[in-house]
Structure 1
Amino acid sequence: MTFTQNFTAVGDSLALSALVALIPILYFFWALAIKRMKGYLAGLTTLLIALILAVVAFKMPAGMAVMSATQGAVYGILPIGWIIITSVFLYKLTVKTGQFDIIRHSVVSLTEDRRLQALLVAFSFGAFLEGAAGFGAPVAISAALLVGLGFNPLYAAGLCLIANTAPVAFGAIGTPIIAVEGPTGISALEISKMVGRQLPFLSLFVPFYLVVIMAGFKKALEILPAIFITGFTFAVTQYLSSNFLGPELPDILSALVSLFALAIFLKFWKPKTIFRFSSEQELAASVAAKASNSQQVKYSGGQIFKAWSPFLVLTAFITIWGIPTVKLALTGHYEGTNAILKAVNALGHALTLMPEVPLLNNQVINSAGAPVAAIYKLEILGAAGTSVIIAAIVTKFIVKISWKEWVATFGETLNELKFPIITIASVVGYAYVTNSSGMSTTLGMTLAKTGSLFAFFSPVLGWLGVFITGSDTSSNLLFGAMQKVTALNLGMDPVLAVAANSSGGVTGKMISPQSIAVACAAVGLAGKEADLFRFTVKHSIVLVLIVCIMTFLQNSSVLGWMVP
């Protein structure tokens, strides 16, 4: 039995069908922002509502809907949940062995100012990890680092989610942009050029915005030179690399340039006053005492290097895992002649399982009249989390922790993350149900009916796609072709529309249920997802409106010259 997606399933009306498709999204907003429900409960109940609507309103067979949810849940566990587990585990190893105390000291010796620490860790280092790995690793690792430095967990998670806006479109070695080339037929380089003429404006703005959120406008002005160095070097490198090199390297190059530029700048410039959070100010006497004690402690270059080495090893492995030819070998798809990669390919092939989803594979007929393949994609060796667990094994020998304690720490991590993993599995399951039932496409088609205002609403489609799927790549695959077709029908440049989908999508990452669950898991706030959602939602709306206005102007004579 097959199921043909019907985008006017409710009352034979696109508008009514879209209103029904909105119900799970509105419910999720209500559950977190107003009801302040625990994340895993909000996720599970949203999934349940989506399943009921898929069956009752969109006439999807119940068995297919349930199997679609299981497909999403499996993807939520591997690769997404696996990244979170391994990232938090690696961080806990450095804490348990005392190495994180040295890391904290090395950052504080560069600057004790919380505003500058956020720029270094949340913005620049987080962007580097986004470029190398994506899929939750940047927020998980950089947020855990900030908590270790003394940041409030909620602030650390929220700041890292907002900082992650600038690099998402070029994340995981350019995956979101490379992926959308297939369904749209538009060159990845052309899309990269257009995104590289939109996001640098956000990259220039986000560091300032980040500090304003932390400390207020006046405190942001106090470190304006450092903010400018961070944002300007990132934005210029992002523009140049995206326009002249392609989508693979903008994040990695931009992050490294901004990180080193700020670190060097701080050797010659210091803010007039050191900013700390109000809770720290209240403990000023004890903080001063601790500061005087820490100044007496001197760590050698070798000790500092050893302390940072787990994250250096992590960076190396994540980068290797992201290289396209290596990625092919890790998933058993390499066809070259390199002996090492052929050996890896054999192992990758053995550890890549792709069973069909029962009742669902090739049973859903999409809008093009083609059957949709449905498989459980279990790339065990190729998953980014596997690179992190290998880094954790190497770290075991660096920090000299026993296997018994190593395994015990891993067990502690699994126990701490059981509810966040349930949250992630349920919200990804929800995303898959909305996609396979046709609810996501119904919402997209409704926005496409906005006519001359489509240039303004085009980024909203990407924002909505990332909110639903948790991924700029998935959003581009979901709505990229629709953006192109709608743009051609309305006389809008299709390159601009597809790029707007990706650029708008990055602003939805901070409120995506997946991202919220990942961030809370990383900083030990399981069950507090509602608080984090309330923290980020207003900033998400502000930033997507900026992208909407920018795209609208780029579609007009005002900024039309920016379209390649």
Structure 2
Amino acid sequence: MHTFAPEVAPVGDSLFLSALVGIIPLLVFFVMLAVFRTRAQTAGAAALVVAIVVAIFGFKMPADFALLSATQGAAFGLVPILYIVIMAIWLYGLTVRSGRFEDLRSIFDLVGHGDIRVQAILIAFCFGGLLEALAGFGAPVAITATMLMALGVKPLKAATTVLVANTAPVAFGAIATPITTAAQLSGLHAEHIGAIVGRQSPLLAWFIPFLLLFLLDGIKGIKQLWPLTLVVGVCFSVAQYFCANHFSYELTDIVAALVGMAVAVIFMMFFKPKGADEARERMGIEKPKAAEKLSGARIWLALFPYILLVVVFGVAKLVPAVAAGLKATDAHIPWPGLAKGLVDADGNPLKSGVFELPWLSSPGFLLLLTGVIVTIVYSVCSSGDKFTLTPAEGVKELGATIVKMGGAILTIVLVLALAYVMNFSGQTKSVGVFLAQTGPMFALLSPVLGWIGTAVTGSDTSANALFASLQNTAATGAGIDPNLTVAANTTGGVVGKLISPQNLAIAATAVNLPGQEATILRKVLGWSVGLLALLCVIVYLQSTPVLSWMISGLN
């Protein structure tokens, strides 16, 4: 059996040429999306073909290995990625079909005093942050986008708003899986990395509510609601810093999201926003009927799916015995042709040749379990014609959700196939190693690696899997604290997720704009690059005496 060991500089024995050739598939993808405005499926298919050609002829990967890499990536796109997204959208669909979502909207309306801008911040930033903390992998974008749509926010605005909002909690998403992964692959301590991320991410997170308000209602909205956005953003950020440094980095986003939401509710008891009706007119949203007075039972049932979601994920992730039991069911499948064929420089098989299939530990299963329980509870608690949901209707809603995903399924499968071909052939690593050849200035560029990795894979966890070890090696060689650059890889991924094709496809599907990924990309690309530039400056200054005090005193 033949083997393949990825090389860093296979093109003309030149790292520069290898990196230049290795980035071509990404350039093809983004140029087709942003310049030629093709459908994401078309761009993904073209980029995948280019990546396979580059892998075979540029990076000397056997043709069968390149094709098999694509199949493993496609499988990962189906499970767990699409599994999670479909279940997340289905759970939301159950609340709509049952009629309970209208009550949830009334609750947000009550808290926000009828101001849709307040409701949008609560949903996209606070509630979305909680979902990211528990599920991640696109679920927050899918759920909050559909919720904003139901409130009347226009599709394109809803998609851009939730994508920007999703940047704040990504570093600590899915119970801080990105940080745990980075520690495992770099050999550093997760608590140390998490503490530094907790001194980087909040510097961006406090600003996100202002950006959301600007996207929703422009400068006038900021003038009218800046006290609320300031309080929510600052409290969220302070909670992130405190929890990551003094409590538990795994629970950082849960604590920050709950603090942000609680502060918003309390603040709105004393702060009465102005211009709510005018804002609706500017946003092209009709004024809804006065919120119906809800009984305690109706409030409870409207909130039940999301309270249950927190409980299910909390138990599954935070109770060691349960987490270990679920994890034990994961299937480890040696991918045919790759399990023993992909090797390192010493000829040892790489772990990447084994496909991990999470049966019960996947957030998709936990969302499915939540949805089944919600269906049962809602069917038992049906009352008259207004609130009805039978198990048969729950199954029909699941089928409708899968049909609705349509082109997004193909897009996500193609994008993940692209990522795996680039990763397994060495294309991504060549680009990363090239960026690492900048000596002390590497700190300035270290977030770019996380940005690239997350933009390609759609996952901050995957970006850390790609580059955490590289960040450690490069930083050590350059005389920089490796904990700083590994943390920067994580934080860089936060703003990279904003332009991830996977997330773009999820957002476009959730707001019923299939094929409009390129339009959404143009709306968010500038913000992603701008936030990345700011982060690069922060990380560089943290590597110098100017801001080194921010990360000093950590062990």
**Which consecutive unaligned segments of at least 5 residues does structure 2 have?**
380-388
Distance 2:115 2:199 in 1: 32
Distance 1:170 1:63 in 2: 37
Which residue in the other structure is 1:134 paired with? 136
* More divergent stretch after superposition (522-531 vs 539-548): 522-531
Of 252, 262, 265, the match for 2:264 = 262
Distance 2:43 2:310 in 1: 34
Pick closer, same or farther for the CA change 1:202–1:114 going to 2, 3 Å: same
Which letter maps to 2:316? W
Which residue in the other structure is 1:335 paired with? none
Of 372, 392, 407, the match for 2:350 = 372
Matched, 1:539 2:546: no
Which residue in the other structure is 2:382 paired with? none
Which letter maps to 2:159? A
Asked whether the equivalents of residues 84 and 521 of structure 1 are also in contact (C-alpha less than 8 Å), the reply is no
Asked whether the equivalents of residues 178 and 247 of structure 1 are also in contact (C-alpha less than 8 Å), the reply is no
Which residue in the other structure is 1:336 paired with? none
Which residue in the other structure is 2:501 paired with? 513
Which letter maps to 2:92? Y
Asked whether the equivalents of residues 70 and 429 of structure 1 are also in contact (C-alpha less than 8 Å), the reply is yes
Matched, 1:49 2:50: yes
CA deviation vs aligned residue, 1:500-530 (integer Å, no higher than 9, x gap): 1111111100111111112222222222111
Distance 2:317 2:277 in 1: 37
Matched, 1:396 2:384: no
CA deviation vs aligned residue, 1:152-190 (integer Å, no higher than 9, x gap): 122212111111111111111111111111221111111
Distance 2:348 2:321 in 1: 30
Secondary structure of the residue that 1:377 maps to in structure 2? strand
Pick closer, same or farther for the CA change 1:545–1:276 going to 2, 3 Å: farther
Where does 1:428-439 land on structure 2 (aligned, <5 Å)?
Answer: 428-439=416-427
Of 303, 307, 320, the match for 1:308 = 303
Question: Following TM superposition, by how much is the alpha carbon of 1:457 offset from its aligned partner in structure 2, in angstroms?
Answer: 0.5
Secondary structure of the residue that 1:361 maps to in structure 2? coil
Which letter maps to 2:228? A
Asked whether the equivalents of residues 330 and 382 of structure 1 are also in contact (C-alpha less than 8 Å), the reply is yes
Question: Following TM superposition, by how much is the alpha carbon of 1:355 offset from its aligned partner in structure 2, in angstroms?
Answer: 2.1
Which letter maps to 2:76? Y
* More divergent stretch after superposition (55-64 vs 268-277): 268-277
Distance 1:278 1:109 in 2: 16
Which residue in the other structure is 2:331 paired with? 353
Asked whether the equivalents of residues 114 and 275 of structure 1 are also in contact (C-alpha less than 8 Å), the reply is no
Computed over aligned residues only, the root mean square deviation of the Cα atoms, in angstroms, reads 1.7
Which letter maps to 1:317? V
Pick closer, same or farther for the CA change 1:69–1:266 going to 2, 3 Å: same
Which residue in the other structure is 1:161 paired with? 163
Distance 1:148 1:308 in 2: 16
Distance 2:538 2:116 in 1: 31
Which residue in the other structure is 2:448 paired with? 460
Asked whether the equivalents of residues 133 and 322 of structure 1 are also in contact (C-alpha less than 8 Å), the reply is no
Distance 2:305 2:206 in 1: 30
Which residue in the other structure is 2:383 paired with? none
Which residue in the other structure is 2:482 paired with? 494
Where does 1:65-104 land on structure 2 (aligned, <5 Å)?
Answer: 65-104=66-105
Which residue in the other structure is 1:339 paired with? none
Which residue in the other structure is 1:444 paired with? 432
Secondary structure of the residue that 1:355 maps to in structure 2? strand
Distance 1:281 1:7 in 2: 50
Secondary structure of the residue that 1:267 maps to in structure 2? coil
Question: Following TM superposition, by how much is the alpha carbon of 1:278 offset from its aligned partner in structure 2, in angstroms?
Answer: 6.5
Which letter maps to 1:19? L
Which letter maps to 1:94? T
| TM-score scaled by length of structure 2 | 0.94
| TM-score scaled by length of structure 1 | 0.92
CA deviation vs aligned residue, 1:11-46 (integer Å, no higher than 9, x gap): 221111111111111111111111121122222222
Question: Following TM superposition, by how much is the alpha carbon of 1:275 offset from its aligned partner in structure 2, in angstroms?
Answer: 6.0
CA deviation vs aligned residue, 1:329-357 (integer Å, no higher than 9, x gap): 1132xxxxxxxxxxxxxxxx3xx432211
Secondary structure of the residue that 1:399 maps to in structure 2? helix
Distance 1:442 1:23 in 2: 12
**Aligned-pair identity (%):** 41
Which residue in the other structure is 1:330 paired with? 326
Which residue in the other structure is 2:107 paired with? 106
**Which consecutive unaligned segments of at least 5 residues does structure 1 have?**
333-348
Pick closer, same or farther for the CA change 1:368–1:471 going to 2, 3 Å: farther
Which residue in the other structure is 1:237 paired with? 239
Pick closer, same or farther for the CA change 1:363–1:149 going to 2, 3 Å: same
Which letter maps to 2:156? L
Question: Following TM superposition, by how much is the alpha carbon of 1:375 offset from its aligned partner in structure 2, in angstroms?
Answer: 2.1
Which letter maps to 2:451? W
Secondary structure of the residue that 1:376 maps to in structure 2? strand
Which residue in the other structure is 2:3 paired with? 2
Asked whether the equivalents of residues 116 and 280 of structure 2 are also in contact (C-alpha less than 8 Å), the reply is no
Secondary structure of the residue that 2:59 maps to in structure 1? coil
Distance 1:33 1:3 in 2: 35
Number of residue pairs aligned between Structure 1 and Structure 2? 539
Question: Following TM superposition, by how much is the alpha carbon of 1:79 offset from its aligned partner in structure 2, in angstroms?
Answer: 0.8
Question: Following TM superposition, by how much is the alpha carbon of 1:328 offset from its aligned partner in structure 2, in angstroms?
Answer: 2.1
Distance 1:327 1:66 in 2: 35
Which letter maps to 1:363? G
Which residue in the other structure is 2:515 paired with? 527
Question: Following TM superposition, by how much is the alpha carbon of 1:274 offset from its aligned partner in structure 2, in angstroms?
Answer: 0.9
Question: Following TM superposition, by how much is the alpha carbon of 1:321 offset from its aligned partner in structure 2, in angstroms?
Answer: 2.7
Which letter maps to 2:301? K
Question: Following TM superposition, by how much is the alpha carbon of 1:402 offset from its aligned partner in structure 2, in angstroms?
Answer: 1.9
Of 308, 313, 317, the match for 2:312 = 317
Asked whether the equivalents of residues 195 and 499 of structure 1 are also in contact (C-alpha less than 8 Å), the reply is yes
Asked whether the equivalents of residues 376 and 391 of structure 2 are also in contact (C-alpha less than 8 Å), the reply is no
Asked whether the equivalents of residues 15 and 446 of structure 1 are also in contact (C-alpha less than 8 Å), the reply is yes
Matched, 1:407 2:407: no
Question: Following TM superposition, by how much is the alpha carbon of 1:115 offset from its aligned partner in structure 2, in angstroms?
Answer: 2.3
Distance 1:412 1:302 in 2: 29
Pick closer, same or farther for the CA change 1:524–1:319 going to 2, 3 Å: farther
Pick closer, same or farther for the CA change 1:375–1:267 going to 2, 3 Å: same
Distance 1:325 1:241 in 2: 23
Matched, 1:472 2:460: yes
Distance 2:518 2:277 in 1: 28
Which residue in the other structure is 1:362 paired with? 340
Question: Following TM superposition, by how much is the alpha carbon of 1:322 offset from its aligned partner in structure 2, in angstroms?
Answer: 2.3
Which letter maps to 1:486? A
Question: Following TM superposition, by how much is the alpha carbon of 1:327 offset from its aligned partner in structure 2, in angstroms?
Answer: 2.6
Question: Following TM superposition, by how much is the alpha carbon of 1:367 offset from its aligned partner in structure 2, in angstroms?
Answer: 5.4
